[in-house]
Amino acid sequence: MFPMEKAIWNLLKNSIYYDNEIVLPLIRRLTSQDETPCITIQQASEVYISGKRIPNANEIIELKNNAEVWINIWCDTEEQRNSLVNQVETRIFQALANHYTTCARYDDGDCTFLEKECATRNVTNGRTAKCQCPYPNDYDYCSWFKQNQIIKRTFAITGEQDMDELDLVKPVLRTIIKVGMNYYKCYNVGGHEIGNLIVNEELL
C-alpha cells in the first residue's frame, strides 16, 4: 500500500457507516466476492517534485512528492451514495479543521498521551467549541497531516465523478472522490526509509 493510500485508509477507518450503525468496510480491491456498499482506496498517480540532502551523522535524502488518491465509493442505491459521499467529505473536512478525532493520539474516545479520556470531552474553551484539542502543546496534539508528513496547504479535494458499473450482473453505483497532496519521504543514503521524520511548520 502506498503511503498516501495508507494515510487516507487510516483517516476513514471506522468512521464511515451505512444503515446508520454498520461500519463501512474498506477493502483493497473490489472483487466478485465482495459485497456492497464498501470503499476502495487507490493511488492514481505520484510525481516527484524535488529532493535535497540533509547533512548529519547519517546523511538523509528528503523527497517531496505529489500524489493523487482516489476514494472509490461502491454502493447499491442513490440514498447510500449520497450518505457515504457526505460522510467521506465530512471526514476530510474534519482533518482540515484539526478535529480532535483526527489526532494521532486519539484512540476510541481516549488520549494515548494522557492515558485517559480525551480532554475535548470534558474541557470547555474556545478550541473545544470547534471540536479541537483544548491544549495542543501541553497534550502533544499531532494532526493527521503531521503524522503522515503531508503539507496541509497543498491538500484538497480535486474532483468528484460518478462512474456507475451498470453492465455487471448486479449493477453497482460508483462515485470517485479525488484528493491531491504534496508530502515528504525521507531516506538514509543507504536507502532505508525513515519512519519518524521531524517535520517543519509548513506541514502543520
What ranges do the domains of the chain cover?
Answer: 3-98+143-203
Predicted confidence at residue 202, as pLDDT, reads 47
Handedness of CA 121, 126, 127, 129 (dihedral sign): positive
Q: Residue 178: its pLDDT value, please?
A: 98
pLDDT value of position 53 = 83
pLDDT score at 144: 96
In 3-state terms, what secondary structure has residue 117? Answer: strand
Q: Which pairing describes strands 110-111 and 38-54: parallel, antiparallel, or unpaired? A: unpaired
Rg (CA), the chain: 19
Instruction: Specify the pLDDT at position 138.
Output: 95
The predicted pLDDT at position 170 comes to 76
Can you tell me which residue has the cell 474556545?
A: 126
**pLDDT the model gives residue 203:** 44
Is residue 150 within 8 Å of 182, Cβ to Cβ? yes
Give the per-residue pLDDT at 165.
83
Q: Residue 116 has which C-alpha cell?
A: 485517559
Intervals of the chain under pLDDT 50: 201-204
C-alpha cell at 48: 516527484
CATH number of the domain located at residue range(s) 3-98+143-203 in this protein: 3.30.2000
Residue 12 · residue 144 · CB < 8 Å = no
pLDDT at position 199: 52
